[in-house]
A and B are shown apart, each in its own frame.
Chain A
Amino acid sequence: MRFTKDHEWVTLEGDVATVGITAYAAEQLGDVVFVEVPEAGKAVKTGDNLAVVESVKAASDIYAPVSGEVIEGNAGLGDAPETVNDQPEKAGWFAKIKIADQAEYEALMDRAAYEDFLQSL
């Protein structure tokens, strides 16, 4: 699993990247009450708005950590946004992206580097 400074996580299986927000982000956001996930077929570049997450205290954009084409949004979050709080780094994923350039994934932080980054905040 890789991480961004914007608190997204990414896993890679073959050329499919799964994207979500970290446990730290989910805790900071507070109770999530609404999630908007992208539709399949949407082309995204690194840093583009990928999804929207709304908690009781703020609405935040989720940025695409890698470039590619969205192949699936997690439709289950529509009725159960609390999944983002309960299982942020598993069932609470937001989207699967068919990755264009694997090097983008490799360039992200590993968990140790992300933990160090959190310490620095």
Chain B
Amino acid sequence: MTMQNVGRPTRPQAATQSGHTSLTGARGLLQDEALIFELGGWDKTGVDLAPGDHDASDLGDLVRAAPIGLPGLSEPEAVRHYVRLSQKNHAIDLALYPLGSCTMKHNPRLNEKMARLAGFADLHPLAPQSTVQGALALMDRLAHWLKTLTGMPAVALSPKAGAHGELCGLLAIRAAHEANGQGHRRTVLVPTSAHGTNPATAAFVGYSVVEIAQTDDGRVDITDLAAKLSPDVAAIMVTNPNTCGLFERDVIEIGRLTHEAGAYFYCDGANFNAIVGRVRPGDLGVDAMHINLHKTFSTPHGGGGPGAGPVVLSAALAPFAPAPWVVAGEGGFKLVEETTDEAAQGFGRMSAFHGQMGMFVRAYAYMLSHGSDGLRQVAEDAVLNANYIKAKLSPVMTPAFPDGPCMHEALFDDTWLEGTDITTLDFAKAMIDEGFHPMTMYFPLVVHGAMLIEPTETESKLELDRFCDALTALAQAAKGGDVERFKGAPYLAPLRRLDETQAARKPRLTWRPDDKGVSPAPLAAE
């Protein structure tokens, strides 16, 4: 087995809640919240409905025999339920959110305003194309920007997330190999520091995954790559900048070796925000790359469901792009929907419709509000902020790769915690008490006790200083023997440490009213 010796304890520790208690057990405005099914009985309703024109006799035998079991809440009860739930989350709108690899940047309100314009927000995907010319024009402009910024000739806008984009890219690669009589290629090479989605995507497409070793300075081991580039290799998947926050300085050689072996170069574009406006992946030999619009172009994470992960494709892969895409012609824009004629080699579709319009509008608003020079500064500021943090914290913590600058995120290991009896997990939990979301921990797996900090370009120097001061104070407390501060953390959160083991071994995925002695509504059995 492959050892992942970067463990973290996941059993809960005894809570030591102390201090003032209220008469009812409530904790001021920090209210506990029950499930909505527990809040509202199914025998009441929050709204008055007019009697319908039809009665149950229209349904014959299909009439429901028992109540449906939906909770009945008044409007204020429903609103309060969701507001209370939202208050249990940390959010980028509350404080710096330094989750490395995730790029938790501010979501500009201008984007939201644009996305709510009725001409975009109220469209139906089946509306006649002649009535949605503005939306199609926006998709065409967005595609133009994405192609220009990446130096790639084609883009598929429809993938709904980064991982969906990876799937799209690998399906295009598989289609290209099959068209070129290379369908026998069954292997995808992935570096040890890759996002977990990369090997998962390759396996999902039916490829077997082989790991590429990493050098001591955190880059792809080019010798190992060359040795593993056999005639069986369909593609390599490399993130650049990589998950250690480092630029793959041999990237051009990686592309050259890959193409020489007859394979395609898939680039995980998760960290494109660190190089946008400065480096065009197409110039590096990349054949396919997804772009997480929420990372580089500031759309909300999750996108209100779903998100958007457009995929740019090289000239070699462009003929295999999935439908649909927008073309401009006489009489305006139209969507190419069928994989016939000019799209005859397209591998199919990634989704029923054309993609997530709300994210397209937000990303395009971000591009226009920054301009090409502004986007270049986005990358520069993201890198500058990460290096500021790396420099400020290096006196008290140990950077995993001390030599040279980092890109958009600063990576520390847990060497500096040796002898303190405090783990990376304990340290991260203590950050919650200081008002910050923890950094990404124990990822990438290649660094022991990894702490991956990504400030993004949207934080000011004032906020970065506040963050660094808090972490410096914590680090000094850790080295000073204040173990309880960490082992018991978080003290100041709605819930303390959770039992992840039981949650994984015995997950409770359904709730039934009779568990709680509440009205026995007929919900689905587990």
Contact = CB atoms under 8 A, between A and B. Distances in A.
Count class of interface residues, chain B: 10 to 19
Nearest to B10: A56
B445 A58 contact: yes
A113 B311 CA distance: 50
Interface stretch (A10-18, A25-33, A38-46): A25-33
A45 to B, nearest CB: 14
A102 interface: no
A62 interface: yes
A119 to B, nearest CB: 14
The SS class assigned to the B binding surface is loop
Contacts of B6: 57
A14 to B, nearest CB: 26
Contacts of B500: 31, 56
Interface-central residue, A25, A56, A62, A81, by most chain B CB under 10 Å: A56
A22 B16 CA distance: 35
Contacts of A28: 3-5, 7
A21 interface: yes
B137 to A, nearest CB: 45
Interface in B57-89: none
A110 interface: no
B11 A60 contact: no
B227 interface: no
B1 A62 contact: yes
Given A30-B8, A31-B11, A56 B504 contact: yes
A104 interface: no
A34 B9 CA distance: 17
A82 interface: yes
B45 interface: no
Contacts of B11: 31
B442 interface: yes
Contacts of A31: 10-11, 500-501, 504-505
A81 B1 contact: no
Nearest to B2: A60
A71 to B, nearest CB: 21
Contact of B505 (A7, A30, A33, A62): A33
A53 interface: yes
A69 interface: no
Nearest to A6: B1
Interface string B463-505: 0000000000000000000000000000000000000110011
A5 to B, nearest CB: 9
A6 B2 contact: yes
Contact of B501 (A33, A58, A61, A62): A33
A89 interface: no
A63 B11 CA distance: 28
A93 to B, nearest CB: 14
Interface in B5-25: 5-11
Nearest to B208: A49
Interface in A88-121: 121
Given A33-B501, A33-B505, A21 B8 contact: no
Given A33-B504, A34-B504, A82-B505, A57 B1 contact: no
A30 B504 CA distance: 13
B7 A29 contact: yes
A25 B3 contact: yes
Interface in A74-89: 81-82
A7 to B, nearest CB: 6
B505 A29 contact: no
Nearest to A121: B5
Contacts of B4: 28-29, 57-58, 60
A60 B1 contact: yes
Nearest to B11: A31
Contacts of B7: 28-30, 57
Contacts of B5: 28, 121
A6 B2 CA distance: 6
Given A28-B7, A30-B8, A57-B10, A8 B504 contact: no
Interface string B235-260: 00000000000000000000000000
Interface in B438-470: 442, 445
13 contacts: A6-B2, A7-B3, A8-B1, A25-B1, A28-B3, A29-B7, A31-B10, A31-B11, A31-B504, A33-B505, A56-B501, A57-B8, A61-B1
Interface of A: 6-8, 21, 25, 28-31, 33-34, 53, 56-58, 60-63, 81-82, 121
Interface of B: 1-11, 442, 445, 500-501, 504-505
